[in-house]
Structure 1
Amino acid sequence: MSRSVYALTVGINNYQSHTIPPLKGCVNDITVIDEFLRKHLTNNEDKLFIKKLINHEATRQAIIDGFREHLCQAKSNDVALFYFSGHGSQERAGQEFWNLEPDHLNETLVCWDSRTDDIWDLADKEIAKLIAEVSQNHPHIVIILDCCHSGGGTRDENDDVSSDKFNLQYTGIRSVNTELRERPLSSFILSEKEINSFFSKSDLNDNESNKFFIPQGEYILLAACRDNEEAKEHRSQKRGVFSYFLMDSLQRNGSLNYRDLFKRTNALVRSLYPKQSPQIEATNSNYLDQPFLGGIVGQRQIYFTIIYDGLNGWSIDAGAIHGIIYSNGNEKTRLAIFPINVEDISQLQDAIAVAEITEVLPQLSRINISGEREILDPELTYKAVITSLPASFLKVYLKGEESGVNYARQAIQTASFGESHSLYIGEVDNFNEADVCLQALGDKYFIIRVSDQRQLISPIPGFTSESALQAIHALEHIARWINIATITSPANSLISSDAVQMQVYQQESEIHDYPIYLKYQANNGKLEPPIIRIKLTNKSENALYCVLLNLTELFAVTGIPFAGVRTGILLQPGQEIWALEGRDISMVIPQNFGHQGVTEYTEYKDILKLIVSISEFDADLLIQGNIEKSNHHPSNDNTQVYVTKSNSFNNLIRKIQSRAIVPYKDEPQKPEVLDEWMTSQILIITATPNDDTDKQVKQKNLHRLFRHLRIGLFLVLPLIAIFLGWIIWQKSQSDKSDKQKTSYYNFSALLEKSKTDLNKNLNPVTYDNDLT
C-alpha cells in the first residue's frame, strides 16, 4: 500500500525584527532534511509532499496555514512531519495557563515576523491546538524542534535594544529574550467557542474553573534541549548541533527506531556540548519503539552521485552542509567509484576508480579521480561511497598575553615528535569557530570550552616552552577523547544497529529509561554511589568482537573488561556476557571533578560506548587516563603505533592514535569489505544529592547524634550515680571518723583534768615558816 509523507519544514536565519539576532545554520538544517527525505523513501509507490518555509516565507500565519492546509491532508496511513529550525523563546502566560505553567511562562517558536506590528510568537498551546487538528485523521505525527525554549539566551533581559551599545551579532545560540508584554487570550488561534470549550466545567469548589486544558493529539516530539537550556549551533558545520547529529544518525541508518535514534543523537550532542540535553517524548510510550517516520524511510546503502560539468569538473552531490570533511594535510576524504547500475557497493574490489576530495563547497565537493580501471565517461553518472575520512582536528583559539601565546603557537608547531605540527589540533583565527580557547593570562594557561565557557583543567603555571607544550598535550588529550566519542556506525555497515544488545541493570531490574539518571543514596547518614551491572547479548547470526568503553567527563577512556582483564570479547551468536563477570560497578563521581568536592556539583556524565566489529581489533590504542592526572604526569602521546591486523576499523583506530596512514596507492590490493563495525552508546548521568537530600542526611546525622547521646547518657548516668554515691559514702565515713577522734580527744583531756584534781586533794599545800 502506498503512503504519503507531508512535511512542513521551517528554517529561519534572519528575522524581520531588528531586536532578534541572526543565525547561520537553520536553512542548512532544512536543506539536509529535505534531501534526506527525497533520497530515502523505501517504496517507489510512496509519495512525498514538502512545504518549505525559509526566512521571510516563515511568517506566523504561513506556519499556521502550513499545518492546516498542508499537514492536515495526512490520512491514517500517512506521515505528518513538522521540522522547525530557528529561535525559541518564552512569553508571559495568562492566569488561565498557570495550572500548566508553574513558572507562568509559555514556550514559543519565534516566527520571521514575530514581535513586529503586534505579531506574536507561536505559543506551545497553539502548536498543541494545530497538532490536535492534524491528528483528527490519525496520521503518524512527528515534531522536531531545533531551537531553545528559554529566554535571555543571547543578552540580559535588562539590555536596552535601542541603545547604541546593543550590537546584534551572531551568537550561535538559538534563543531570544522572553516576551514580557501582556498577551490577550484573543490573540491565540482559538475561537471564542473553542476557548469556552477548553475551560474546565468542574465545580467551582474544585478550583478548576478558569483553567485551560491543552487539546490532545497523538505525536512524537524530538527537541534540541530542555526548556531551561540553550540550543547551540555547530560553528564549523554551520548547522544546529542537534540537527547535525540527528541527521548524521539517520543518514547512517534510517531504519532506527525513535528510542535508538535518540540514544545516539543525545550521546553525541552531550559529549561535545554537556549543557545541552536533547529531549524525547511521546503521547504513547509504545511509539518510541516504532521506526523513524513509521518506517517509510528505511535502511539503504548510502552513496553519493558523481557527475561531470564544465564549471566544477568531477564532483559529488554533497558538501559542507552534509558533513563532508576537507583536510589540508596528508589525510583526505577518499571515495570508491562504481557504475550507477551496481547494487552492492560494499565490495571495494568491484570499484572502477578511486578519488579524493580536493575542495568542499556548501552543497557539492570537487574530486580528483585516480586509479581508473576503466575510463570514466563525462556523459554518465556514477555512484561513490566514502572509504576513508580524516580524523577531525580540535579547533583552538589562542588569546591573552603575547609571550604566552607565542610559546603556545611554537608548541603547536613542534608537538609531533618535537619536529612537526600537532596531529590533533589546529589554530583558528575566529573565536566563534573554535572548539576550545587557550588563554594565556597572569603567567598561567587556561583551557576553556567555548560552548559553555567551562574551564576544563587546572591552570598550567608559567610561560615557558615546557608549560606551553604541556598545555598543547592537554589539548591533544581532549581531541583524542572527542574523536573516540564521535566514532559512529558507517552508513553502509554490514552489522545491524541491534546486532548486540547492551542492557544496564540496577538492583536486579533493567533500566529502560534513557538517558539513565542515577543518584547517590543516603544510607545510615552516609552518601553511597549508585551501583549498576552491564550485560551484552549477541542477537545476530554471526560471531562479533565487542569492546565496551567508558568515556568520562574528565576525558578519560577506560576499557571495561569482561573476563579477567580482557577488554574485548568474541561473542558467538546468542551468547550473553556480563561486564566484570557480573560484579557491581560503582558509578562514583571523582572528588576532583571541577576541582571541588563532590557535593559542589549536581551531575557527572559517563558515556558507555559499545564497539562491535566482525574482526578483532586492538582497543588498548583507545585507552587514555584522566586529563588532570595525565597533565600532571605528561607522557609522550606521539609514539608510533603498529597495527598488525588489516581491517578498516583498525585503520580508523590507528588514525585516531597516531594519524599515521599508508598512501592509498600503496595499500594492499586485496578484496576488502567496506565498513565492518557498528557502535552504540548509553549516556549515564550520576547526580549528587540535591539540597533536600543533603538536609535529610544532615537531619539523619543529627538524629543519630541525639540517639547516641541518649544511649550514652543512659549508660553513663548509672555510673555517675554510683560514683557520686561512693563519694558521698566516703565523705560520711570521713566525717564519722573525725567525730570519733574529737570525742576521744575530749575524753582524754577530761580524764587528765580529773587526775590532776585528785592529786591536789591528796597532797595539801604547806607554807614555809620562814616566809611567814
Structure 2
Amino acid sequence: MTTRLHALLVGIDAYPAPVPALSGCVNDVMAFAGVLRERVGAEALELVVLTDAAATREAVTAALTDHLGRAGADDVALFYWSGHGSQQDTPPELWTLEPDHRDETLVCVDSRSPGSWDLADKELATLLAGVSASGCHTVVVLDCCHSGDGTRDADDTVRLAPPDPRRRPASSFVGTAPGTASRAVSRWTPTGRHVLLAACRSSETAKEVTVGGRRRGALSAALEAALTDAGGHPSYRDVLRMVTADVAARVAEQHPQVETTDATELDRPFLGGALPTTPRPLTLSHLPDGWCIDSGAVHGVPAPVGDETTELAVYPLTGETSGSPLATAAVTQVLPDRSLVRLTPELDESFVYRAVVTSIPLRPLLVGVVGEDASAAALREAASEADEGLVGLVEEGGAHDADLVVEATADGFVITRPGVTRPLVPVVGGPAREERTIRALEQVARWLRLSALTNPGTHLPADAVHVEVEAGAAPVGAGGTLTLTYAGSDAPRFTVHLANTTATPLWAALLDLTETYGILTDAFPAGSIALGPGESTAVDLVGQVDDTLWAAGTVSVRDQLMVVTSTLEFDPRSLEQDELDVGAPPAPRRPDGPTRGAVAADGAGAGGGGTAARTSLDRVLGGVTTRRLGPTPNRAAVADWRTDSVFVVTSRPR
C-alpha cells in the first residue's frame, strides 16, 4: 500500500493589533509546500495550506480534525505551524495538568478577537491524539516561540506574541468540556506515534532572518535546506543535526529540539519515510566531540588500518564537488553512527560541508599458519617478501582470528577457511612451494578486496546505472542471481544491459570475478564506457565451466559481475588477473586476456591497463592490488562512485 502524506501547513504574517505582525511565516509554508510537492509528488500528497486571514482558530482546528483525520494506519500526518507562539493562564480546573499554571499556545489570526482564543498546547495535543489514533505516523513542526520569558532582539524579529490577559474558561478548551477536563493532555507533545520538531528550547525565542533576500523563520529555512540537500531517508536525528548547525550559523540563543515519548522514533526516517529516496550527500560538521562525518560503522565506513584511513575532500554543502576542495579530512575514529576526522586546514565551525571519499583503507588478508613446524617456519619466512598491504600472517596460535588458514603438510600447503576442511585452492606442492603459496594468497586477497569494495559516502543512487542480466527469461537485477545450464556441449549465452538513469553523464565498467580468483576487465575496450543521460549499452557474454575444471569434477561455477559506476572516466584494467594456478608462478598478462569464466561472446579482449591514477577512483582501485602506491596525487580529480553486483551460476552437467 502506498504511503500518503496528509499535510496541514499554517503560516500567519498579517496579525491584527495588538499582536505584532510578522513577515516570514507565509514564505515559510509556501516554500515548504514546494519541497513537499517536489519530493513527495502530487499522487502521494494531500496538502492544505492556510495563510493569514484564512488561518482562523476554527479553520485550523477543523483542518486538524477533518483533513489530518483522514490519515490511515499506513499514512503520515504533518502539522506545520509558522507564526506566533505565546502563553496564557491555565484555568484552575486544569491546574492538575499544568504545574506552573501556564499554557503554551499558538496564536491564530483571530485568537485575540472577542469569542476566540489561542490554540493551547492541551488542545493541540488532544486534536493530534485523535489523528494518531488511526495508527498513522504524526509529525508536528512548530516554528514559533513557546516560552514565557522571551524578549525582543534588536536585530531579529522573534515569534513571540504578548500573553492574552483575558481569563479563559475551561469550557472553551477543545476536548475539555465539563466533566472531561481530566482527559486533556498537557504540553505540545501529542500521543501516539509522533515526533515534534520545535524551533527552540522552552526558554528561548524563535527568530526571523533574511535568507536569499526573503524573510524566513530560522528553523524553516534550515529545514528546507536540510530536506533539499539531504538524500536517502534522513532520520530525525539527521535532520536535527543539520538544522541545528544551520540555525546556529544564523542566530544566537536558538537551539532546535526534537521531542518524542519513544526514543526509537528518532531513528525513523523524517516524515516516516514519506519522502522518496534520493542520493544522500555525505556531510561534515563540527559537533561537541569535534569535526565528524555523518557516516559510521553502520554505514560501512572502515576503521583505520595502520597508517591508512578513509580520506575525504571537503566542499561547500550546495556547491559542486569538482575542482579544488576547501579542505581534506582523514578519519581518526569510526563510531557506530558517525566518524571523527582530522581536518586540514580548519574551516568555519558554524557551517555544514559536503564530503567526498577519495581513499579507503583496505585491510590485509589475515592468514594463520598451522601444521608441520619446519614447513610452517619456511612459509613464514617467505611471507616476509609479501605485500604487507595484501597479506598479513597472524601470530602462532591466532589462526581462529584469521581470514584464511594455511596448513603445512608433508605434501605441501593446503589453503582453507577457518572451520572448513575443503581446500579453498588445490594443494600447493613441489619446488618453491612457499613462494607460490604466498603468491596465491596475494591473488586471493586482491580478489576478495575487490569483491567487497563499496563506497560508504557515495551520492549516486542505487539505480544510477541500472543493470540487468538476462538469458531469454525474466531479467535479474543488482543483487540477484541468474542460473544458466549448458545445452549438451554448448555453453549458455547471456546479455548484460547497462542504462544511465540519471540526468548527468556517467562512466561504467563491467568486471567479472570468477570463482577461481580471476578478474576480467575486457567487457569494454578502454576498461570503462561513457553513458550519457538515458543512454544504454549491452554486453553479450558466455557462461563457461572450463574443460579442465569439468574433467576434474567441477560441474558448476559462480561468477560475480561487478558494475563500477563513476562520475569521471576511469580505467579498471590494472585489476586484471588470470585464474589462480598454483602449479606455477602466475604468468604475465596475455594481450588477448584470460579465457576462463564468463567471457566476451566475440572473443575480444582489452589486455591490461595500468596508467597513473587520474581520479580518486583510479587510486582506490589501485589500492585493491597493492598498498605500495605512494602519496595521493595532488591533481587527481575527485570522482563519486559506487559498485553493484549480479551473480551468474553456470552449470555443466556430467
**What is the TM-score with the length of structure 1 in the denominator?**
0.43
Deviation of 1:588 (Å) = 1.8
* Cα-to-partner distance string for 1:214-269 (whole Å, 9 max, x where unaligned): xxxxxxxxxxxxxxxxxxxxxxxxxxxxxxxxxxxxxx98479xxxxxxxxxxxxx
Q: Are the structure 2 counterparts of residues 592 and 427 from structure 1 closer, same or farther at C-alpha, using a change threshold of 3 Å?
A: same
Match of 1:589 among 542, 545, 552: 545
Q: Are the structure 2 counterparts of residues 297 and 544 from structure 1 closer, same or farther at C-alpha, using a change threshold of 3 Å?
A: closer
Aligned to 1:569: 529
Match of 1:547 among 494, 509, 531: 509
Write out aligned runs for 1:382-401 (5 A): 386-401=357-372
Deviation of 1:480 (Å) = 0.9
* Cα-to-partner distance string for 1:669-700 (whole Å, 9 max, x where unaligned): x8x5x4333332211122344xxxx7xxxxxx
Aligned to 1:657: 625
Write out aligned runs for 1:270-669 (5 A): 298-309=278-289, 320=297, 322-336=299-313, 342-344=317-319, 346=321, 349-351=324-326, 353-360=327-334, 367-372=341-346, 374=347, 386-416=357-387, 422-429=388-395, 430-450=398-418, 452-461=420-429, 466-489=432-455, 491-493=457-459, 495-507=460-472, 509-512=473-476, 515-520=480-485, 526=488, 528-562=490-524, 567-580=527-540, 585-593=541-549, 596-599=552-555, 603-628=556-581, 632-635=584-587, 643-644=611-612, 646-663=614-631, 667-668=634-635
Q: Are the structure 2 counterparts of residues 557 and 687 from structure 1 closer, same or farther at C-alpha, using a change threshold of 3 Å?
A: same
Write out aligned runs for 1:685-764 (5 A): 685-689=649-653
Q: Are the structure 2 counterparts of residues 316 and 482 from structure 1 closer, same or farther at C-alpha, using a change threshold of 3 Å?
A: same
Aligned equivalents of 1:573 and 1:321: distance in 2? 32
Name the amino acid aligned to 2:645: Q
Question: Retained in 2: the 8 A contact 1:302–1:491?
Answer: yes
Alignment RMSD, CA only? 4.3
Deviation of 1:307 (Å) = 3.2
Deviation of 1:612 (Å) = 2.7
Write out aligned runs for 1:125-164 (5 A): none
Name the amino acid aligned to 2:643: T
Aligned equivalents of 1:539 and 1:365: distance in 2? 31
* Cα-to-partner distance string for 1:437-490 (whole Å, 9 max, x where unaligned): 11212241111123755422111115x7x3212111111101111222223355
Question: Retained in 2: the 8 A contact 1:306–1:384?
Answer: no
Aligned equivalents of 1:594 and 1:398: distance in 2? 31
Match of 2:73 among 65, 75, 100: 75
Aligned equivalents of 2:548 and 2:534: distance in 1? 41
Aligned equivalents of 2:309 and 2:508: distance in 1? 29
Deviation of 1:624 (Å) = 0.8
Aligned equivalents of 1:485 and 1:2: distance in 2? 40
Question: Retained in 2: the 8 A contact 1:306–1:382?
Answer: no
Aligned equivalents of 2:314 and 2:544: distance in 1? 49
Aligned to 1:147: none
Name the amino acid aligned to 2:74: S
Question: Retained in 2: the 8 A contact 1:306–1:383?
Answer: no
Q: Are the structure 2 counterparts of residues 645 and 381 from structure 1 closer, same or farther at C-alpha, using a change threshold of 3 Å?
A: closer
Deviation of 1:627 (Å) = 0.8
Question: Retained in 2: the 8 A contact 1:316–1:365?
Answer: yes
Question: Retained in 1: the 8 A contact 2:278–2:461?
Answer: no
Instruction: Give 5+ residue unaligned stretches, structure 2.
Output: 8-38, 45-70, 78-133, 138-229, 235-271, 590-607
Deviation of 1:536 (Å) = 3.0
Number of residue pairs aligned between Structure 1 and Structure 2: 386
| Counterpart secondary structure, 1:459 | strand
Q: Are the structure 2 counterparts of residues 411 and 139 from structure 1 closer, same or farther at C-alpha, using a change threshold of 3 Å?
A: farther
Aligned equivalents of 1:348 and 1:388: distance in 2? 17
Deviation of 1:332 (Å) = 2.4
Aligned equivalents of 2:641 and 2:537: distance in 1? 19
Aligned equivalents of 1:2 and 1:667: distance in 2? 47
Deviation of 1:540 (Å) = 3.8
Aligned equivalents of 2:500 and 2:299: distance in 1? 33
Aligned equivalents of 1:364 and 1:530: distance in 2? 46
**What is the TM-score with the length of structure 2 in the denominator?**
0.50
Deviation of 1:502 (Å) = 2.9
Q: Are the structure 2 counterparts of residues 644 and 460 from structure 1 closer, same or farther at C-alpha, using a change threshold of 3 Å?
A: closer
* Cα-to-partner distance string for 1:697-718 (whole Å, 9 max, x where unaligned): xxxxxxxxxxxxxxxxxxxxxx
* Cα-to-partner distance string for 1:37-92 (whole Å, 9 max, x where unaligned): xxxxx89xx9xxxxxxxxxxxxxxxxxxxxxxxxxx9812269xxxxxxxxxxxxx
Aligned equivalents of 2:354 and 2:435: distance in 1? 45
* Cα-to-partner distance string for 1:398-456 (whole Å, 9 max, x where unaligned): 2222222222222222124xxxxx32112234334322111212241111123755422
| Counterpart secondary structure, 1:650 | helix
| Counterpart secondary structure, 2:367 | strand
Aligned equivalents of 1:594 and 1:438: distance in 2? 26
Question: Retained in 2: the 8 A contact 1:445–1:461?
Answer: yes
Deviation of 1:623 (Å) = 1.0
Aligned equivalents of 2:291 and 2:534: distance in 1? 47
Q: Are the structure 2 counterparts of residues 404 and 306 from structure 1 closer, same or farther at C-alpha, using a change threshold of 3 Å?
A: farther
| Counterpart secondary structure, 2:324 | helix
| Counterpart secondary structure, 2:377 | helix
Identical-pair percentage: 25
Question: Retained in 1: the 8 A contact 2:573–2:609?
Answer: no
Aligned equivalents of 2:323 and 2:401: distance in 1? 36
Deviation of 1:552 (Å) = 1.1
Name the amino acid aligned to 2:328: V
| Counterpart secondary structure, 1:555 | coil
Aligned to 2:194: none
Deviation of 1:534 (Å) = 2.8
| Counterpart secondary structure, 1:488 | coil
Aligned equivalents of 1:317 and 1:654: distance in 2? 26
Question: Retained in 1: the 8 A contact 2:310–2:331?
Answer: yes
Aligned equivalents of 2:562 and 2:371: distance in 1? 37
Deviation of 1:365 (Å) = 5.1
Aligned equivalents of 1:360 and 1:255: distance in 2? 22
Name the amino acid aligned to 2:330: E
Q: Structure 1 residues 314-323 or 426-435, which shifts more?
A: 314-323
**Higher share of residues assigned helix:** 1
Instruction: Give 5+ residue unaligned stretches, structure 1.
Output: 5-41, 47-72, 80-136, 141-251, 257-291, 417-421, 695-772
Question: Retained in 2: the 8 A contact 1:480–1:656?
Answer: yes
Deviation of 1:382 (Å) = 7.2
